Amino acid sequence: MILLKTKQEIEMMKQAGQLLASCHKEIAKRITPGISTLEIDQFVEEYLHKNGAIPEQKGYKGYPYATCASVNDVICHGFPTKKPLQDGDIVTIDMVVNLKGALADSAWSYAVGNISSKARRLLEVTKKSLYKGIEQAVIGNRIGDIGHAIQIYAEKHHFSVVREFVGHGIGRVIHEPPQIPHFGAAGTGLCLKEGMVITIEPMLNEGWYFSVIDSDGWTARTADGTLSAQYEHTIAITKQGPLILTDQDGKR
Ligand code: MF3
Ligand code: CO
pLDDT at 229: 99
Cα–Cα distance measured from residue 4 to residue 190, given in angstroms and rounded to the nearest whole number: 14
Asked whether residue 2 is assigned to any structural domain, the reply reads no
What is the mean predicted confidence (pLDDT) over 203-224?
A: 98
Distance 144 CA to ligand 1 centre (A): 22
CB-ligand 1 contact for 201 (6 Å cutoff): yes
pLDDT tens, 177-209? Answer: 999 999 999 999 999 999 999 999 999 999 999
CB of 62 sitting under 6 A from ligand 1: no
> How does residue 33 score in pLDDT terms, banded at 50, 70 and 90?
very high
Residue 30, number of CB atoms within 10 A of its CB: 11
The values of phi and psi at residue 9, to 5°, are -65, -40
Q: Predicted confidence band at 239 (pLDDT cuts at 50, 70, 90)? A: very high
Minimum-distance ligand 1 atom for the alpha carbon of 165: 9
Which residue's CA lies nearest to atom 7 of ligand 1? 57
In a domain, 250, yes or no: no
pLDDT band at 215 (very low <50, low <70, confident <90, very high): very high
Kindly give the distance from the C-alpha atom of residue 175 to the centroid of ligand 2, in angstroms, as a whole number: 7
The amino acid at residue 136 is: Q
* Total domain count, the chain: 1
**CA–CA gap between residue 227 and residue 206 (Å, rounded):** 6
Closest residue CA from atom 8 of ligand 1: 57
- Residue 101, domain member (yes or no): yes
- Convert 167-177 to b/e letters by CB count within 10 Å (16 or more is b): bbbbbeebbbe
Q: What is the CATH number of the domain that holds 13?
A: 3.90.230.10
Q: Is the CB of 68 under 6 A from ligand 1?
A: yes
Domain extent, residue 115, equals 7-244
Is 249 within the bounds of a domain? no
Among 233, 248, 229, residue whose Cα is nearest residue 89: 229
CB neighbourhood size of 226 (10 A): 17
Measured from the CA of 77, which atom of ligand 1 is nearest? Answer: 11
Distance of alpha carbon 203 from alpha carbon 228, whole angstroms: 7
At residue 109, what is the residue type?
S
CB of 158 within 6 A of ligand 1: the answer is: no
Whether residue 63 has its Cβ less than 6 Å from ligand 1: yes
- Tell me if 15 is assigned to some domain: yes
The verdict on residue 114 lying in a domain is: yes
> What is residue 183's DSSP assignment?
S
Nearest ligand atom owner, CA of 20: 1
Q: Is residue 85 part of a domain?
A: yes
> What per-residue confidence (pLDDT) applies to 9?
98
- Please give the DSSP secondary-structure letter assigned to residue 191: B
pLDDT in tens, 82-127: 999 999 999 999 999 999 999 999 999 999 999 999 999 999 999 9
- Would you say residue 84 lies in a domain? yes
Q: By the 8 A CB rule, do 79 and 69 touch?
A: yes
Residue 57 near ligand 1, beta carbon < 6 Å: yes
Range 152-171 average pLDDT: 98
Mean pLDDT over all residues of the chain? 98
